[in-house]
Structure formats: C-alpha cells, structure tokens
Amino acid sequence: MATRNLSDYDPDLIPDASGMRFGIVVADWNSQVTHALLDGAVKTLVRHGVKDEDIIVSHVPGTFELTVAGQWMAEYEDTDGVICLGCVIQGETPHFTYICEGVTRGITQLNLDYNIPFIFGVLTTLNLQQALDRAGGIHGNKGDEAAVTAIKMAYLQRRMEK
Ligand code: DLZ
C-alpha cells in the first residue's frame, strides 16, 4: 500500500483558523526529526490564519513526557487544542513499546478528560530514515498533518458547543 503524503491536503476543506490559539508540546529526543515536525506544524497553523503569538510551544525531554506537558498546557494556557509532537525509533530493547503504549494511552485519556482536542503527532518508526521521510522528506511532514487535524478538530468542537 502506498504511503499517503502527510503534507497533502485540500486547503478548501480546512476551516479558517484566525482567532484560534494552539499549544504545541514537542519532545527533544530525536530532535533532528521532532524539530522538523515543529517547523511544519507552526508553518501550517500560520498559513491557515493562526497568529504567531497564539502558538505556545513547550519542549520536553522525550515522547513519554508529552502527556503530562499536554495536560499542563490544557490547565495553564487557554488553548483551542494541543498538538503533541514526538518521534520514537525502535531500538534493541522493549523501551520503544513502553513509550509508544504510554503516550498513546496518555493522549487518548487527555482527549477524554478535557474539552479540547489533543493531536497525536508522534512518529513511531523502525529506523531514523523512516522518521526523516515523514519529517519533511519523501512522505511529507507529520507536523503539517497534525496542525491540519488540530484546526479541523478545534473548529468541530466550537461548532458543536454552540
Ligand atoms: C529513553 C528513550 C528511548 C530509549 N527512546 C526514545 C525515543 O526513541 N523517542 C523519545 O521521544 N524518547 C525516547 N526515550 C526517552 C523517554 O521518552 C523519556 O524521556 C525517558 O524515559 C524519561 O527518562
């Protein structure tokens, strides 16, 4: 099956995001990858109308810490959604599995506990090349996809709340 390009989307299907405010929590582990995801996410938010001052970025050491930082973002910053960016690359030990399980459960729980969307912008790959291919490489940028998802979900929440 062909991999969908993560940066391909129909701009006509994206709501106007001006007036929206987003938090981004980004893991610095595998920073070559995650900082490229951050770059993509910020550029995509701005392209769709979010002001620079309405994008609050917090760095954490690794993907495992994304859940609690996402919670703090929801508690202490008045955001319409939180984008969680990380990259877990499979190593020789089961650590990969524990981190992936932890962050997946954590972000799922945040989505249920708070009335804003938390976006799963975490790459889980077998090697560095697969991650680079999805961080601005041949398969696009997962950060772009996460930002588009954040805008769509924040818009949906606002619409349903009315
Ligand atoms: C420890 C660890 C390992 C082995 N691999 C990764 C990884 O591929 N990607 C990632 O974001 N973080 C990794 N970490 C760090 C954990 O997420 C976490 O920061 C530490 O376990 C905390 O001590």
Q: pLDDT-based confidence at 115, cuts 50/70/90?
A: very high
Tell me the CATH number at 70: 3.40.50.960
pLDDT in tens, 57-83: 999 999 999 999 999 999 999 999 999
The angle that helices 95-113 and 66-76 make with each other, rounded to 10 degrees, is 20
Catalytic residue status for 95: yes
The closest of 104, 118, 125, 127 to 149, measured between CA atoms, is: 118
Measured CA to CA, the distance from residue 70 to residue 119 in angstroms comes to 10
- Residue 52 within a domain: yes
Measured CA to CA, the distance from residue 30 to residue 128 in angstroms comes to 9
State whether the beta carbon of 89 lies less than 6 angstroms from ligand 1.
yes
How high does pLDDT run on average in the chain?
A: 96
- Residue 114 within a domain: yes
Report how many domains make up the chain: 1
Domain of 142 in residue numbering reads as 22-161
- Other C-beta atoms closer than 10 Å to the C-beta of 137 total 15
Q: pLDDT-based confidence at 29, cuts 50/70/90?
A: very high
Q: Which residue's C-alpha comes closest to atom 9 of ligand 1?
A: 88
Which of 93, 95, 98 has most ligand 1 atoms within 8 Å of its beta carbon, as the pocket-test mutant? 95
